[in-house]
Structure 1
Amino acid sequence: MISEIKKTTEQKMNKSVEALKLDLAKVRTGRAHTGLLDHVMVEYYGSMVPVNQVANVTLIDARTIGVQAWEKPMLAKVEKAIRDSDLGLNPANMGEIIRVPMPALTEERRRDLTKVVRTEGESAKIAVRNLRRDANQQLKDAVKEKLISEDDERRGEDEIQKLTDRHVGEIDKLLAQKEQELMQI
């Protein structure tokens, strides 16, 4: 019973950390990376699909992303989708390939992005703590139903607290890494 609760809680906490990693990948640093365009949607024969499903997304250099559409007519649509996204990018159509230069970040913009990163991290920590609360509630319910003893409940709560501490530490490490990346010039 306790191991089951611990296992499901750990899986959910891992998912929270993975979700944070994805959110942090969306936050733009000074360097270009192909994952930046993963969430840009483009219309493709009546349905909206991510850019990477209609084009090759590559790095030309450290500050430039190259997008090469698989079909010639898609170039204009992909360029428009990138321009209209909230990423603040200005793509340039070069005929066969779209070049997406990454503008340099100002000090003020870096600080704003750091605040965004901290907010994302705090949301992830809250999610992990909520999972801890839910797991502890399941343990309390099991004691009420006489499925486990109170000693088992305390041991289970200790194990869940250790899981929580480990995941919060992981979140803090990810945040520190991203903040350092942001403040690097």
Structure 2
Amino acid sequence: MSSLIRQLARRTLPATVSSPRHVIQLNVVRRVPASRTYASRSKAKSTVSFVPGSQLRFDSEDTRAEYAKTDVKMTSVVDWFRKEVAALETRASGRVTPTLLSPVRIERGRGQTVKLEEVATVGIKDGSVLIVTVFDEQNTKAVEQGIYNAKLPHIVPQRLDSRTLKIPIPKPTVEARNTLVITTSRMAEDVRVQLRKHHQTSVKKGKYEKHSVELEEFQRLSDRHIAEVDKILAQTKKATGSK
């Protein structure tokens, strides 16, 4: 089960996110708090009190466009992280769903492959057994082989009849849950690094003055997305009973 989690964590990331398997090589980056206070000549300003992005009053159209563009990039990174963590959590929690077989590809000859859902349906029996029903019994052998080829740990198909396969799913181990937390933590730090890079790129491009509203708003944007990453990680730890 734990090796499956590691395998999923190595899946291809979007262009804006570096692969989690390289996270170990990264220098430890200091965690950015959900909000940050900046000193000014008059009075310190907290990013928490800033207006929403839809109400920003930037003087420059270019600045507004850059802000929106950066927000989209950051949202994409966080959404990717949320989706990957959900997939890892499903497997480590022991919840049996058809998505456990989503990596499976079936060979149709001449190098052509299709998704499992295109040649079969996947159901659940007794809460712990996946039932694969092939549309055409001529494809049963290919489906069975495709499941083996996916090399999903603890996923072993058993034939019930000419069109049906059953796959008992074992309960998750403590090791699997611990691996989930470790993997998620590494992914979270990688995502934080990407968010900071987007923030720094936008700020450098704008060449804004020190203590300017623009700098404060871009920092607030970065803080908000990093806080969302922290929240996802905290929820994962809580779900697995980790601290």
Structure 1 stretch displaced more, 8-17 or 87-96? 87-96
Instruction: Check if 1:37 corresponds to 2:101.
Output: yes
Structure 2 unmatched ranges of 5 or more: 1-61
| 1:183 shift after superposition | 4.6
RMSD of Structure 2 on Structure 1 (CA): 2.3
Q: Are 1:40 and 1:82, in contact at CA under 8 Å, matched by a contact in 2?
A: yes
Instruction: Check if 1:168 corresponds to 2:226.
Output: yes
Partner of 1:15: 76
Question: Could you tell me which amino acid in structure 2 is paired with residue 72 of structure 1?
Answer: E
2: CA distance, partners of 1:156 / 1:119: 31
The verdict on how the C-alpha distance between 1:49 and 1:66 changes in structure 2, with shifts beyond 3 A counting, is same
Partner of 1:80: 145
Partner of 1:146: none
Partner of 1:48: 113
Q: Which is richer in helix?
A: 1
Secondary structure of 2:83 counterpart: helix
* Segments of 4+ moved more than 6 angstroms: none
Structure 1 unmatched ranges of 5 or more: 144-149
TM-score (structure 2 length as normaliser): 0.64
Secondary structure of 2:137 counterpart: coil
2: CA distance, partners of 1:22 / 1:126: 18
The verdict on how the C-alpha distance between 1:183 and 1:137 changes in structure 2, with shifts beyond 3 A counting, is same
The verdict on how the C-alpha distance between 1:98 and 1:172 changes in structure 2, with shifts beyond 3 A counting, is farther
2: CA distance, partners of 1:62 / 1:173: 29
Percent sequence identity is 26
Partner of 1:65: 130
1: CA distance, partners of 2:240 / 2:175: 11
TM-score (structure 1 length as normaliser): 0.81
Secondary structure of 1:104 counterpart: coil
Partner of 2:59: none
